[in-house]
């Protein structure tokens, strides 16, 4: 049977239970959000965790609670959720896009130093697909330049650097709880921090949030149920992958369905949907996800280490360079290739699905062109990244199949055979 690109963290039974809870009056869920926040903070060894309706909303509130000089520069790396640029602007700051290294997902320190000036007040660091940059060096840089360091650990829940979890190097960290994230609650975002004063201000913000839209959450649950069905292996093998093979290239129908913001715009105001509260049915999902978190992370990391071991040394593609001292949590398993469409088609012939990078290259987003961002490596990395399947529902045999198919790939420019 074919191997789908993804496996939802939420089981169909959890999605069904979520829909049922959405129909209950709020009185049923008293204390559930607080309990989720307490357990989240405990799991990540932080004093405080505050939940918002999305990670982007969490960033917006966090930036406004850090006492940064109004209008100052906030540095963000070149591959990101496009709306993070809007959140920085709407919070009252100027986004500055920093490039990544050419062969890794780490921030390019030279570009960071060049773009950091007297007006820079904050640095947002984002480990991509679990790949950690040198967080100690970034923390030292932030300290020296008096920047507030924050980490977006949405793709790096259990990544470590020098034995310390990502998310513990800055003043605060944010985690997305959206589709596929290691703790998934349909949608949601958490800020963790050890700073009691900051936590109190954030709690004040969260308490003022509008009521969560149950209709919109139900819509998200149905979308996830559709994805669960489409990636159910018998159906995926017989119908979905064959359809994807004939209908689409790199950015296929599946990716477009999966992506939450299909168009990027320069927002003039905060959408009401971004200012909603995190609801108790979401928190109830989160408690279940926290309970199984360590087991799911360990399983995925074990499979990733096996896959990596089986495909090195790579030919026809490469792997983003790992930072010395880091422990990757392999949220996804990326390859870099100059021929992503050819590799994708090759894998599909072997019954193996794969996916492009869904994050935006901020410097090439049409809506942001006037801001003059420059991050050519990030643009190239996005174009060259292909994610192969790597998830906890895979067997050891599946991993061997992926490895064998990758080893059989002949890059179109590579010399053919003996």
| Cα gap 101→77, rounded to integer Å | 11
| Cα gap 274→254, rounded to integer Å | 25
Q: Residue 189 or 334: which CB sits closer to ligand PLP? A: 189
DSSP string, 181-211: SSS--SS-EEEEES-HHHHHHHHHHHHTPBP
Helix (H) or strand (E) holding 241: helix 241-247
CB of residue 180 to ligand PLP, shortest distance in Å:
8
Choose which of 130, 189, 281, 334 interacts with ligand PLP (CB under 6 A).
189
CB of residue 165 to ligand PLP, shortest distance in Å:
16
Q: Residue 166 or 406: which CB sits closer to ligand PLP? A: 166
DSSP string, 83-133: HHHHHHHHTT-EEEEEPBPSSSSSB-HHHHHHH--TTEEEEEE--BTTB--
The answer to whether 300 touches 393, Cβ cutoff 8 Å, is no
Choose which of 154, 231, 326, 385 interacts with ligand PLP (CB under 6 A).
154
| Cα gap 124→332, rounded to integer Å | 21
If one counts every other C-beta atom within 10 angstroms of the C-beta of residue 128, the result is: 28
If one counts every other C-beta atom within 10 angstroms of the C-beta of residue 227, the result is: 21
CB of residue 80 to ligand PLP, shortest distance in Å:
6
Per-residue binding letters, 167-186, with ligand PLP (x by CB under 6 A): ---------x-x--x-----
Smallest CA-to-CA distance from 367 within 74, 124, 80, 82 is with 82
Smallest CA-to-CA distance from 371 within 125, 99, 89, 152 is with 89
What the block records as the tokens of 281 is 């049915």
Name residues contacting ligand PLP, limited to 74-103 (CB under 6 A): 81
Q: Residue 316 or 356: which CB sits closer to ligand PLP? A: 356
CB of residue 377 to ligand PLP, shortest distance in Å:
17
Find the part of the chain contacting ligand PLP (CB under 6 A) among 48-56, 231-239, 321-329, 390-398.
48-56
Give the total of residues touching ligand PLP (CB under 6 A). 12
Find the part of the chain contacting ligand PLP (CB under 6 A) among 24-32, 52-60, 164-172, 341-349.
52-60
Find the part of the chain contacting ligand PLP (CB under 6 A) among 14-22, 151-159, 280-288, 366-374.
151-159
CB of residue 53 to ligand PLP, shortest distance in Å:
8
| Cα gap 199→189, rounded to integer Å | 14
166 binds ligand PLP (CB under 6 A): no
Choose which of 46, 48, 56, 300 interacts with ligand PLP (CB under 6 A).
56
Q: Residue 120 or 155: which CB sits closer to ligand PLP? A: 155
| Cα gap 310→304, rounded to integer Å | 10
55 binds ligand PLP (CB under 6 A): yes
The answer to whether 139 touches 170, Cβ cutoff 8 Å, is yes
CB of residue 405 to ligand PLP, shortest distance in Å:
26
| Cα gap 309→291, rounded to integer Å | 30
CB of residue 87 to ligand PLP, shortest distance in Å:
8
Report residue 387: phi and psi, to 5°: -95, 125
Rg of the chain in Å (alpha carbons): 21
377 binds ligand PLP (CB under 6 A): no
Residue owning tokens 């139900």 = 218
Residue 329 Cα distances to 71, 88, 132, 174, 354, angstroms:
35, 28, 9, 17, 19
Choose which of 126, 159, 224, 289 interacts with ligand PLP (CB under 6 A).
126
Q: Residue 106 or 126: which CB sits closer to ligand PLP? A: 126
Q: Residue 126 or 159: which CB sits closer to ligand PLP? A: 126
Helix (H) or strand (E) holding 235: helix 233-235
152 binds ligand PLP (CB under 6 A): yes
Find the part of the chain contacting ligand PLP (CB under 6 A) among 3-11, 54-62, 139-147, 320-328.
54-62
CB of residue 153 to ligand PLP, shortest distance in Å:
8
* Pair type for strands 48-52 and 189-193: antiparallel
Q: Residue 55 or 304: which CB sits closer to ligand PLP? A: 55
* Pair type for strands 385-388 and 94-98: unpaired
131 binds ligand PLP (CB under 6 A): no
Residue owning tokens 């004063």 = 197
Q: Residue 143 or 256: which CB sits closer to ligand PLP? A: 256
Choose which of 46, 54, 296, 344 interacts with ligand PLP (CB under 6 A).
54
Q: Which residues of the shown chain bind ligand PLP in the complex (CB under 6 A)?
A: 54-56, 81, 126, 152, 154-155, 176, 178, 181, 189
């Amino acid at each position: 049977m074919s191997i789908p690109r993804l496996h939802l963290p939420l089981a169909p039974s959890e999605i069904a239970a979520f829909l049922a809870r959405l129909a209950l009056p709020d009185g049923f869920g008293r204390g559930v959000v607080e309990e989720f926040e307490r357990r989240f903070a405990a799991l990540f060894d932080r004093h405080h965790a505050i939940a918002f309706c999305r990670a982007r909303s969490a960033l917006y509130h966090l930036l406004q609670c850090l006492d940064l000089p109004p209008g100052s520069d906030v540095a963000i790396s070149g591959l990101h959720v496009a709306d993070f640029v809007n959140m920085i602007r709407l919070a009252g700051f100027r986004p500055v896009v920093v490039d990544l290294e050419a062969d890794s997902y780490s921030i390019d320190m030279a570009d960071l130093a060049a773009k950091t000036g007297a007006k820079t007040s904050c640095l947002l660091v984002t480990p991509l697909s679990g790949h950690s940059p040198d967080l100690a060096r970034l923390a030292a840089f932030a300290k020296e330049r008096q920047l507030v360091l924050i980490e977006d650990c949405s793709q790096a829940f259990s990544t470590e650097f020098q034995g310390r979890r990502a998310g513990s190097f800055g003043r605060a960290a944010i985690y997305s709880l959206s589709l596929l994230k290691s703790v998934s609650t349909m949608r949601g975002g958490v800020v963790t921090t050890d700073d009691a004063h900051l936590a109190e201000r954030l709690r004040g913000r969260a308490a003022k949030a509008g009521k969560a839209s149950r209709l919109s959450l139900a819509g998200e649950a149905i979308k996830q149920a559709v994805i669960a069905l489409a990636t159910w292996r018998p159906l995926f093998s017989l119908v979905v992958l064959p359809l994807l093979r004939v209908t689409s290239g790199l950015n296929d129908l599946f990716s477009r369905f999966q992506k939450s913001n299909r168009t990027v715009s320069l927002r003039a105001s905060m959408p009401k949907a971004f200012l909603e509260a995190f609801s108790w049915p979401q928190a109830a999902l989160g408690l279940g996800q926290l309970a199984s978190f360590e087991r799911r992370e360990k399983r995925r990391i074990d499979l990733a280490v096996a896959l990596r071991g089986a495909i090195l040394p790579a030919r026809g593609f490469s792997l983003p360079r790992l930072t010395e001292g880091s422990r990757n949590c392999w949220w996804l398993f990326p390859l870099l290739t100059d021929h992503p469409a050819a590799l994708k088609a090759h894998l599909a012939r072997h019954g193996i699905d794969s996916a492009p990078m869904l994050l935006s290259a901020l410097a090439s987003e049409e809506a942001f062109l006037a801001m003059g961002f420059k991050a050519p490596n990030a643009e190239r990395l996005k174009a060259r990244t292909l994610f192969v399947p790597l998830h906890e529902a895979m067997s050891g045999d599946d991993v061997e199949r992926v490895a064998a198919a990758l080893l059989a790939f002949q890059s179109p420019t590579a010399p053919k055979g003996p």
